[in-house]
Chains A and B, each alone.
Chain A
Amino acid sequence: MGRGRELLRYSAIRLALAPLMLWLIASLVFLLLRVAPGDPVDAVLGSRAPAAARAALRSKLGLDQPLWHQYLDFIRGLGHGDLGEALINQEPVSSIIARDLPASLELGLTALLLAAVVGLAVGFSGIARPEGKLDFAGRLYGIGTYALPPFWVAMLVQLLFAVMLGWLPVGGRFPPSLLPPQGSGFLIADSLFSGNWASLQGAIRHLVLPASTLGLLLSGIFTNALRLNLQRTLRSDYVEAARSRGLSETQVIVRHALPNALLPVLTIAGITVASLIGGALLIEVTFSWPGIALRLQEAISQRDYPVVQGIVVVIAALVVLVSVAVDLLVAALDPRIRY
């Protein structure tokens, strides 16, 4: 089979599996929330509410229907982008997510970019002399950033830079004294487009601490990935051949080894998105960053089932889509991969 057709077949399988995985996740979340001990009606009204009020809420939520009926309704709704309504204020869950997602993406993408730049720089710096001091430091950096609890680092950063030095705000996303710019919900982009410098400055000042905390903590993943891959590549025959042709070590590393070592790093970046979400959940809560993760925590403490369900399904869908996209990208870029 030619490589083009192989790639096409692989892509088709991977793309066909994605909806299956999404459906599995959605069903899993649905089932888990239904078999859970504790009644959502109790959670909203309290267990001593009058029977009539409880019955009314029960039928409003569709909980009086048989389970398979609820399930079909849920899946049908998902197909139309309908995730149900919040128990607390009857707001559609999809519009809650649409409102809070830009804040999370702004934080997450900035952090990911920072993580990649810092992580790759640290990983690359040790390669000149493997097993040297710099290399060992890179290894320690990888383990150390992994072992740091994100919310703890966030609190220490807040204490140091916001409380003691007073350089940056402790939390939040925008100065309370200003009116946030209207538009896409990405405050930095919106401020740029409207040319509002005060709000741009405010938005950036609030973003610095959470984004750099999350970014630095995730950068270790990139450091480790690059170190391991570069080491493996530098031992391969074609690098040996390049060396024996009399190329300088810098040329060997930069021109020959690095391109091949960077490709697996792309895969790692895809995997990082999953850790990014775990870390972002904690960072958002610590910095009161009004994103989707902070909303999830709020919904959990209010036991607002539809919101929890909706947010989890949307995050899971995002993760699955990113992992599929990265796999396809790597497959298309790397001519060596065979399926």
Chain B
Amino acid sequence: MSDTRTPGRLFRMWDNDIAYSFRKSPLAIVSGVVALVIVLAAVFAPLIAPTNPYDPSGLNLMDGFTPPMAPNAFTGNSFVLGADNQGRDVLSTILYGARISLFVGFSAVLFAMVLGIVAGLVAGYRGGWVDAVLMRIADVQLSFPSILIALLIFGVARGFIPPSQRETMAIWVLIVAIGLSDWVQFARVVRGATMVEKSKEYVQAARVIGVSPARILLRHVLPNVMGPVLVIGTIGLALAIIAEATLSFLGVGVPPTQPSLGTLIRIGQQYLFSGEWWILLFPALTLLALALAVNLLGDWLRDALNPRLR
């Protein structure tokens, strides 16, 4: 764990098994680049987006439905990817939308990960009734599709929040709903790995010299179970992004004033029949590229961390 002894941290990042398998897999490189480009574009959206879609004063309703790469008949404004029904630049809404989608996705996975790791460590280490109760809950939850659970949590949370705050709280409710619907995967894997690790000698040695259970779990067991957790986390990120898009598409996600990719697709779908395809197509392609790239990265990571496949 000490960084001082090894010279050149960058070199170590470049020269290890996982980095080697990354360099040898063209699919992983392509998806890595696609994911990185979308993430960077989303993070720096305020700097690179041509317009700010949240600023009503910058919008001109006359720009509405401008096709891509063609000047508007009334205003003469031209947009690379066209403009949507309210005259917002589609490219800018996508950049800002990806920002929200990624924020919700990352936060939800992080939430699910922390919850799942804690539950899994405790269940695996303590065993007994704690394990039984946690795993029964996990079993019951696992037999329902996670989107249904997220919807239900979302519905319940809305009931508790006064209507005036529903729009501002929507993103946080969404994160909790998706996170709570996803923790089971983490908990099961961590529990299994913990049960294997806890009977190993280093854990017993630590226990003999009187290290507290919390410290054993966090400092000794956790680093050894992080591999599979990262794999599930990556694939879970793709699932969370899709879950967010699905909920927003169903109209129970983020409000239209701060559209995520799912909300943009929902808006775009309404204009598909009248021939304004660009409002739908570009957000949909972005979502697809993002989800697919993250998914493929997860697949690659799973294979790279699997010692049997090396």
Partners in one complex: no
